[in-house]
């Protein structure tokens, strides 16, 4: 299988190259050059365990990795999850389920993609006999998940920049208490935007980038989207047959990456009825799906911080399909968006996509209500998914983080503080972080001295 750019001005690549490249040189995002049809495989996949199913799915795309190697990489990626089902589907009421995606090492759904990406990177280092230095900026979950994907792996080092004092104490501990000597938690004086801006300049230095074989952690990597298709498939196969055709996945969303994965799976022949795009008060996607206008707004910090995003970077992949797979149209729309901060789309298929928006007051109310009605504790991101569910469909709410990551919000909503053994263990370990000024020179020098 080969992978093409949404902007159509760069050659198609094989899987491993597309994963290593990340953002396409023409500024576009990679997509499979054709969508496989899995409708004939669903019977055979019935009851398969998570890692086997993931291998069956990925082998269709990762055709340049030998099958036994791929099977091993996939198995390793899900070996550090603590629930035997990997992504357990819990029934809460008639026609209502939660799909728990937080049993991986950092207790958030990003582990599904970043554990696999870490294994793919490590495999590339080994086969090419090259080292790789991974660099990213984070406001929380992504950095921690990326670190735990590469922790202790030979031939790799990872540098994660975050705003000092502005990520939650538990998130900081997940990054800074690893004890691994290939992990560098870099606390920047300034905001997330300052960290991001410094990082951009470091990447813009082509000479430095090539010499150190720098690779970016971001949400647009092809492997992340494909890895995320698998939990939708796994959940669909675990629903009673009578409910499968009427399922609506409800997805707490920031960058659109998670919803996009489900929607792509639907296009690959899995009969999913619909998707609910659930945003917090940073509602660019809610506005898009209800009014047809995509317009950037100000980011306002919320109780669901991993969804505090106003430009949905994965949206371009969806755009490619909605513009009839025409890269020239994609380029025109993206150029208009860049120039004016907005663009309009024809009406979406309301039967497939619906949207909701949940502000902070409602998040607290929903956490209390779901606890009262179902005895279930939802984290603030998951809580956004419980708003205005469609009563005519079987709802599967994706639970994207463990409530134990947000003890303060949960305590004030239900009076009980959730805990998790892996977070408790972190509290007694020393924090090792490197405080730096957010200037490109300082960051370059720091990386240069520690890169592999």
Site residues (vs ligand PLP, CB under 6 A): 108, 110, 141, 219, 252-258, 306-307, 381, 400-401
Q: Say if strands 434-437 and 274-279 run parallel, antiparallel, or are unpaired.
A: unpaired
The per-residue DSSP string of 110-139 comes to: HHHHHHHHHHHHHHHHHHHT--EEEEEE-S
CB of 308 to ligand PLP, least distance (A): 10
What lies within 8 Å, CB to CB, of 268 at 6+ separation is: 35, 36, 37, 38, 229
Structure tokens given for 67: 């099958």
Q: Rank residues 253 and 409 by Cβ distance to ligand PLP and give the closer one.
A: 253
Q: Rank residues 254 and 327 by Cβ distance to ligand PLP and give the closer one.
A: 254
405 classed as catalytic: no
Q: Rank residues 108 and 426 by Cβ distance to ligand PLP and give the closer one.
A: 108
Count of beta carbons in the 10 Å neighbourhood of residue 205: 14
Q: Which among 391, 398, 394 has a CA at the least distance from the CA of 248?
A: 394
Q: Rank residues 62 and 383 by Cβ distance to ligand PLP and give the closer one.
A: 383
CB of 255 to ligand PLP, least distance (A): 3
CB of 434 to ligand PLP, least distance (A): 24
Q: Rank residues 258 and 302 by Cβ distance to ligand PLP and give the closer one.
A: 258
CB of 340 to ligand PLP, least distance (A): 24
CB of 451 to ligand PLP, least distance (A): 27
Cα separation, 187 vs 194, whole angstroms: 11
CA torsion angle 149 152 157 160 (round to 10): 50
Cβ(122)–Cβ(69) under 8 Å? no
Q: What is the largest CA-CA distance in the chain?
A: 60
Cα separation, 348 vs 336, whole angstroms: 20
CB of 228 to ligand PLP, least distance (A): 8
Cβ(417)–Cβ(409) under 8 Å? no
Q: Rank residues 182 and 314 by Cβ distance to ligand PLP and give the closer one.
A: 314
Burial code (b: 16+ CB inside 10 Å, e: under 16) for 270-306 equals bebbbbbbbbbbbbbbbbbbbeeebeeeebeebbbbb
Cα separation, 430 vs 450, whole angstroms: 20
CB of 129 to ligand PLP, least distance (A): 33
Q: Rank residues 67 and 408 by Cβ distance to ligand PLP and give the closer one.
A: 408
Count of helices and strands (H, E) across the chain: 20, 16
The neighbouring-strand residues paired with 435 are 187
- Phi/psi for 192 (5° steps) reads -60, -40
Residue in 110, 200, 405, 433 annotated catalytic: 110
Residues classed as catalytic: 110
């Amino acid at each position: 299988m080969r992978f093409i750019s949404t902007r159509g001005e760069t050659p198609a690549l094989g899987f491993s190259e597309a994963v290593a490249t990340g953002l396409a040189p023409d500024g576009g995002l990679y997509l499979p050059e054709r969508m496989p049809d899995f409708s004939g495989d669903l019977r055979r996949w019935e009851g398969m365990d998570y890692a086997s199913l993931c291998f069956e799915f990925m082998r269709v795309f990762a055709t340049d990795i030998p099958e036994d190697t791929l099977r091993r990489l996939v198995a390793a990626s899900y070996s550090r999850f603590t629930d035997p089902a990997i992504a357990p589907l819990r029934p809460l009421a008639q026609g209502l389920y939660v799909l728990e995606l937080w049993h991986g090492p950092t207790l958030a759904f990003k582990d599904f993609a970043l554990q696999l990406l870490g294994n793919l990177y490590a495999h590339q280092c080994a086969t090419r006999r090259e080292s790789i230095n991974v660099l990213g900026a984070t406001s929380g979950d992504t950095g921690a998940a990326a670190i735990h994907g590469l922790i202790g792996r030979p031939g790799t080092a990872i540098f994660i920049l975050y705003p000092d004092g502005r990520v939650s104490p538990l998130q900081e501990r997940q990054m800074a208490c690893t004890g691994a000597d290939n992990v560098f938690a870099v606390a920047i004086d300034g905001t997330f935007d300052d960290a991001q801006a410094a990082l951009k300049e470091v990447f813009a230095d082509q000479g430095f980038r090539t010499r150190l074989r720098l690779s970016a952690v971001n949400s647009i990597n092809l492997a992340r989207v494909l890895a995320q298709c698998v939990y939708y498939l796994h959940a669909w196969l675990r629903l009673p047959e009578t409910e499968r055709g009427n399922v609506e996945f409800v997805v707490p969303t920031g960058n659109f990456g998670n919803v996009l994965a489900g929607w792509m799976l639907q296009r690959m022949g899995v009969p999913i009825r619909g998707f609910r795009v659930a945003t917090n008060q940073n509602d660019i996607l809610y506005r898009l799906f209800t009014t047809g206008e995509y317009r950037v707004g100000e980011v306002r910090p919320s109780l669901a911080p991993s969804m505090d995003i106003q430009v949905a970077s994965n949206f371009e992949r969806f755009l490619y399909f909605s513009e009839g797979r025409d890269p020239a149209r994609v380029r025109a729309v993206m150029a208009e968006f860049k120039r004016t901060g907005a663009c309009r789309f024809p009406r979406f298929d309301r039967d497939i996509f619906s949207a909701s928006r949940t502000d902070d007051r409602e998040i607290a109310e929903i956490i209390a209500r779901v606890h009262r009605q179902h005895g279930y504790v939802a984290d603030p991101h998951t809580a956004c998914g419980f708003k205005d569910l469609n009563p005519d469909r079987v709802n599967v709410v994706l639970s994207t983080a463990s409530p134990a990551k947000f003890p303060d919000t949960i305590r004030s909503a239900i009076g009980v503080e959730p805990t998790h053994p892996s977070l408790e263990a972190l509290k007694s370990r020393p924090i090792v972080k490197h405080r730096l000024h957010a200037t490109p020179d300082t960051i370059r020098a720091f990386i240069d001295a520690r890169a592999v």
